[in-house]
Chain A
Amino acid sequence: MKAWIGLLARLLVGGVMLLAGISKFPDPAANVRQVRAFDILPEAVVPTVGHALPTVEIVVGAALVLGLLTRLFAVISGLFFIAFIIGISAAWARGLEINCGCFGSHGVPANPQRQYAIDIARDIGLLIGSAWLVVWPRTRLALDNLLFPHHERLADGDETEEAVEV
């Protein structure tokens, strides 16, 4: 049962990260501006972080979807969501305007306060998914099961579970 819930968590967390990364990848300049808008990191590292962000999202997302080194990438994704939650909270607290409200032709941008709350709630939900996978990284339909087949047998039996579990 846990293994099936784990599969669901993998697809959800990994899927969201993968799609976010893919949608950001074509416009690196925009990612740099987005990172700068949070006004947290020093300008010297803003371009590097902006350029690396979509790649990290794609790699981590793809690894989780495939079930590759699940525990390792679940840890990384969790750290990501914690960073996002801190960044959004800080922006919210300081009254920064991160979402430009330019997309969609409704004339008035969506309420930024509400958007911050939605974003934080979403990231907390995904963080829970990551945490689940850190605790129970063995899931159904994962590449890990092919790469570390014997380990799975051990884990299924009563043997100690101290073998490399990543």
Chain B
Amino acid sequence: MATKPKKQSKSERAQALMREQQRRERRRNLLVVGAVVVAILIVAGVMVAISSNKDTTGQAVGTGGTPQNLTGQYNVVIGKSSAPDTIKVYEDFQCPICAYFEKTAGDQLRAAIADGRVQVDFRMVAFLDRASTTNYSSRALNAAMAVLSTAGPDAFLQFHTIAYQNQPAEGSAGVPDSTLIDWAVQAGADKDQVTPLINDNVYHQWVVNATDQMSKDHVTGTPTIFINGENQGSNPQVATQAVLDLLKK
């Protein structure tokens, strides 16, 4: 026979009640957890979508957005092809150690290029936009490409020197477009030609893609200096000295 509820002891009934209470509690808690997890997943999904939308890396660059007078897709090689040695450098215009390299070895490097002793393969990138309040890094590279496109590799090299000599401090507002235009003209470019290219930042997508290419080349910092294909390592003083030693020969 089934036991009648009345025959249950007080404590048994209390226990049954407690169990029922706990079951309800657990169901409620699972619902709360589920709701919280769903809400978090929605927020996270939106944030990831924002992130990947913002990253234009790899987007196609039209002819107007691709600099002229490049040697390859993302580099410009300066110097006689008969030169016995090749130096390859990855540089960012905002990078202070690149300015150190330019200050320490720039004169010797340009002399060696002129004498036909060395070819320099410039791979300019811009990943230090966050080091200025005006994205100086990528704007400076855009300006350098405007000079290369309209006035050729020698003018680019001039601009490269001027930009490093006048490098704005990290964390500053960089320099305005009007100053970049002044430097471009000083380097030998025509003012009317470079002004729209610099003001409209026309090579911006190319700059983004060039920077991504550096990463795909397994280069993670600047300056990275290769002498005849050999990476000179992460200590800039050692790498700079290696370049000076090569040029002294």
Chain A residues within 8 Å of B, Cβ to Cβ: 25-33, 36-37, 39, 47-48, 51-52, 54-56, 58-59, 63, 68-69, 96-105, 107-109, 112, 147-148, 150-151, 154, 163-164, 166
Does B73 count as interface, using CB distance less than 8 angstroms? Answer: no
A40 to B218, alpha carbons, bound, how many Å?
A: 12
When distances are taken between beta carbons in the complex, the residues of chain A under 8 Å from B48 are 51-52, 55
Please report B residues at the A interface, Cβ cutoff 8 Å: 22, 25-26, 29-30, 32-33, 36-37, 40, 43-44, 47-48, 51-52, 54-57, 92, 95-97, 100, 127-131, 169-170, 208, 211-212, 215-216, 218, 220-222, 234-237
State which of A36, A37, A147 has its C-beta within 8 Å of the C-beta of B32: A147
**Whole-angstrom CA separation of A72 from B217 in the bound complex:** 39
Contact assessment for A47 and B43 in the assembled complex, using a CB-CB cutoff below 8 Å = no
Q: Chain B binding site: helix, strand, loop or mixed by DSSP?
A: helix
A54/B127 in contact, CB under 8 A: no
What are 16 pairs between A and B in contact, CB < 8 Å? A31-B51, A32-B55, A52-B51, A55-B44, A56-B44, A59-B40, A59-B43, A69-B37, A98-B220, A101-B234, A102-B222, A103-B170, A107-B236, A108-B236, A109-B221, A147-B29
Contact B33 A164 (CB under 8 A): yes
User: Do B236 and A109 touch (CB < 8 A)?
Assistant: yes
Closest 4 CB pairs of A and B: A100-B221, A28-B55, A33-B215, A55-B47
> A37 and B97: CB pair below 8 A?
no
A35 CB to nearest B CB, Å: 9
The answer to whether B29 touches A105 (Cβ under 8 A) is: no
With contacts A39-B218, A51-B55, A55-B51 known, is A148 near B95, CB below 8 A? Answer: no
In the bound complex, residues from chain A placing their C-beta under 8 Å from that of B211 are 29, 33
Partner of B40 from A63, A147, A148 at Cβ < 8 Å:
A63
| Contact of B33 with A102 in the complex, beta carbons under 8 Å | no
